[in-house]
Amino acid sequence: MDRIAELAKRKTFGIVSHPDAGKTTLTEKLLLFGGAIQEAGAVKSNKIKKHATSDFMEIEKQRGISVATSVMAFEYRDKQVNILDTPGHKDFAEDTYRTLTAVDSVIVVIDVAKGVEEQTEKLVEVCRMRNTPIIVFINKLDREGKDAFDLLDEVEGKLKLKVTPLSWPVGMGQRFKGVYSLYEKNLILFNPHGKQEEEGIVKIENLDDKLLDARIGEREAAELREEVETITSVYPEFERQNYLNGDICPVFFGSAVNNFGVRELLDCFIDIAPNPLPRETEEREILPEEEKFTGFVFKIHANMDPKHRDRIAFLRICSGVFERNTNYFHVRQGKNMKFPNPTAFMASKKSVIDEAYPGDIVGLYDSGNFKIGDTLTEGEILHFKGIPSFSPEQFRFVNNTDPMKTKQLAKGLDQLMDEGVAQLFTKEDNGRKIIGTVGALQFEVIQHRLKNEYGASCNYEPVNLYKACWVTCKDPLALKEFISRRKKDLAKDTDGKLVFLAESAWTMKMAQENHPDVEFHFTSEI
Ligand code: G4P
């Protein structure tokens, strides 16, 4: 099939939300529309509750399940939609950040009652850094919640996004009558018991139409007219280009569990969401239309079965066509590799594919060759940008407790770090190793996996650290001076990059003040 036509069919995106806002439910409804699943509950039943857990086995279970639901692809209106799952558990934050590097747009789900929550703020910040186009879906309108205008203010204030509503609710909770689509100029009437019927959609081009009063009542109609007037005077008119530039976010209202407002969201998404976008590398920009294949690994998943050490590396295709059993160049390792069994993910099914196009994600079986951020090409030396590590928030010294298993421990730690489970720093002064994670549970997961998968044992020792940041300096003399003065606070990450380990906000500030020529970076992308 024509490469350019295939590319034009792809829409690759992620859904982000705070746990419980309705991401899983929305994903499921989208898959139902796409015919990728036949019944509600198929994705949901795969889900493990993400909150209220101090049991790391929950994370282990999620890890197993999330292979199946990592990428879900379906066809809708002649387009191929690829949804990338963004893990919801707070301990997976970094995994989610990285998944966002492989999407071309996102849908943010917000609970009407809770408004903008913490995790959404963090994730949207990452999207904003990359100008990712965003659509906002305000969910659970069948429940009482915040005032719609207040919510828009909250989105603008907390998420620092400019918005323009493309649909508007008529009432909420008990009084929820439906939404008016400013995009399609339709009134969509809410039917709480299931399917949205065709007759529930009333074409109303002009809001002065008396039909509006007849369908939702005079008082509600008057209110809607007034609110829509306010919207048109306060919010900018929707222009696709502004959305594509990441300058403006369309907002939709609905109720995912009632399948309400979801089709409108999906139809608009199909109309406006970007096809695979160009990607930056250190060397040059890669256009998806280019004939030669390029792609990068954004996620690595270990096999849960300790007897099979193989892993799955998730590769995002950026240009050209990826073909099965063809030699590609692994840039970091400087060698050619071919893949006899690349898999595509269609909802929860996996199948071997012969070729894949830009925007697609393929799973490659890997026996330890890949690290997050690795690039495959047809020979060109390229390094994709935008797959940074972030400063961890929790740190501990790691000690080997079984001297007979030193090799196993080193190998296990190496591989877990390649997967992006945590970050490992080796201190410059005494060679001690420090593990840094985003969430505390990761320490237990690491200990458990080292034992189970590598037969190695370790324990942890507290270390008082506030932040790790990567340092660079244009002036070699100033760098040398910094290194000799701060040796006890310095370490190397697994790529050999120099890292400053600050004990407190104050130490951080002092280091910055005393060494003005040294640059401190809070992500590894420097
Ligand atoms: P998440 O993936 O973002 O964590 O959220 P999820 O879809 O699991 O939804 C969280 C809860 O919110 C679920 O209830 C779900 O049914 C409910 N929900 C989703 N959309 C809506 C909506 O439009 N209206 C209302 N009222 N509720 C909604 P739960 O009780 O945790 O699970 P379940 O027992 O219903 O499966």
User: Domain segments of the chain: what residues?
Assistant: 5-9+11-74+89-174+237-272, 279-377, 394-521
Return the minimum-mean-pLDDT range out of 71-80, 146-155, 382-391: 382-391
DSSP state of 287: P
Report residue 121: phi and psi, to 5°. -60, -45
Q: How far apart are CA 314 and CA 343, in angstroms?
A: 10
CATH class of 279-377: alpha beta
Å from CA of 257 to ligand 1 middle: 7
Q: Is the CB of 17 under 6 A from ligand 1?
A: yes
Over the stretch 436-476, which tens digit does the pLDDT of each residue have? 987 787 888 899 889 988 999 999 999 999 999 999 999 99
Q: Would 5-9+11-74+89-174+237-272 and 279-377 be classified into the same CATH topology? A: yes
Predicted confidence (pLDDT) at residue 526 exceeds the cutoff of 60: no
Q: Is the CB of 347 under 6 A from ligand 1?
A: no
Mutate to test the pocket of ligand 1, among 20, 26, 85, 120 (most ligand atoms within 8 A of CB): 20
Q: Which residue did the predictor score with more confidence, 211 or 376?
A: 376
- Using alpha carbons, select from 496, 495, 494, 502 the residue that is nearest to residue 522: 502
pLDDT of residue 206: 82
Å from CA of 145 to ligand 1 middle: 15
Average pLDDT over residues 149-162: 95
Q: Which residue did the predictor score with more confidence, 415 or 375?
A: 375
3-state DSSP call for residue 54? coil
pLDDT of residue 197: 53
Average pLDDT over residues 375-399: 88
Convert 191-260 into a string of H (helix), E (strand) and C (coil).
CCCCCCCHHHEEECCCCCCCHHHHHHCHHHHHHHHHHHHHHHHHCCCCCHHHHHCCCCEEEEECEHHHCE
Average pLDDT over residues 205-233: 89
Predicted confidence (pLDDT) at residue 54 exceeds the cutoff of 60: no
Predicted confidence (pLDDT) at residue 480 exceeds the cutoff of 70: yes
Å from CA of 20 to ligand 1 middle: 6
pLDDT of residue 393: 85
Predicted confidence (pLDDT) at residue 68 exceeds the cutoff of 60: no
pLDDT of residue 190: 84
pLDDT of residue 287: 97
Å from CA of 253 to ligand 1 middle: 15
Q: How far apart are CA 2 and CA 6, in angstroms?
A: 6
Q: How far apart are CA 20 and CA 440, in angstroms?
A: 21
Average pLDDT over residues 414-422: 86
Question: Which atom of ligand 1 is found nearest the CA of 254?
Answer: 23
Name beta bridge partners: 433: 426
Predicted confidence (pLDDT) at residue 192 exceeds the cutoff of 70: no
Q: What is the largest CA-CA distance in the chain?
A: 83
Q: Which residue minimizes the CA distance to atom 17 of ligand 1? A: 22
Return the minimum-mean-pLDDT range out of 62-76, 238-252, 315-329: 62-76
Instruction: State which amino acid sits at residue 375.
Output: T
Name beta bridge partners: 313: 300, 364
Report residue 70: phi and psi, to 5°. -65, -40
pLDDT-based confidence at residue 140 (cuts at 50, 70, 90): very high
Q: Which residue minimizes the CA distance to atom 36 of ligand 1? A: 44
Q: For the purposes of burial, counting CB atoms within 10 Å of the CB of 404, is it exposed (0-12), middle (13-18) or buried (19 or more)?
A: exposed
The pair of three-digit structure tokens given for residue 391, joined into one six-digit string: 């400063």
Name beta bridge partners: 73: 82
Cα-to-chain-centroid distance, residue 424: 23
pLDDT of residue 326: 96
Average pLDDT over residues 514-521: 93
Q: What percent of the chain has pLDDT over 70?
A: 87
Q: Which residue did the predictor score with more confidence, 425 or 90?
A: 425
Report residue 174: phi and psi, to 5°. -60, -35
CATH number for the 394-521 domain, one of 3.30.1230.10, 3.30.70.3280, 3.90.1640.30, 3.30.9.10?
3.30.70.3280
Q: Is the CB of 24 under 6 A from ligand 1?
A: yes
Return the minimum-mean-pLDDT range out of 91-95, 185-189, 256-260, 338-342: 91-95
The pair of three-digit structure tokens given for residue 52, joined into one six-digit string: 């209220």
3-state DSSP call for residue 26? helix
CATH number for the 5-9+11-74+89-174+237-272 domain, one of 2.60.40.2140, 3.30.70.1070, 3.40.50.1820, 3.40.50.300?
3.40.50.300
Q: Is the CB of 90 under 6 A from ligand 1?
A: no
Å from CA of 22 to ligand 1 middle: 5
- Using alpha carbons, select from 454, 462, 456 the residue that is nearest to residue 434: 462
Q: How far apart are CA 452 and CA 77, in angstroms?
A: 46
CB atoms near residue 72 (< 10 Å): 24
Q: Is the CB of 15 under 6 A from ligand 1?
A: no
Distances (CA, A) of 397 to 11, 327, 425, 436, 460: 43, 41, 9, 9, 5
CB atoms near residue 153 (< 10 Å): 14
Distances (CA, A) of 270 to 12, 13, 167, 417, 491: 11, 11, 16, 37, 47
- Using alpha carbons, select from 120, 128, 179 the residue that is nearest to residue 154: 120
Q: Is the CB of 119 under 6 A from ligand 1?
A: no
Question: Which atom of ligand 1 is found nearest the CA of 256?
Answer: 23
Over the stretch 196-218, which tens digit does the pLDDT of each residue have? 555 577 777 788 888 888 888 89
pLDDT of residue 49: 47
Cα-to-chain-centroid distance, residue 388: 13
pLDDT of residue 53: 43
Average pLDDT over residues 42-70: 55
The residue written with tokens 């989610």 in the block is: 96
Considering the chain, what is the average pLDDT of its residues? 87
Distances (CA, A) of 27 to 70, 101, 190: 12, 19, 20
pLDDT of residue 276: 97
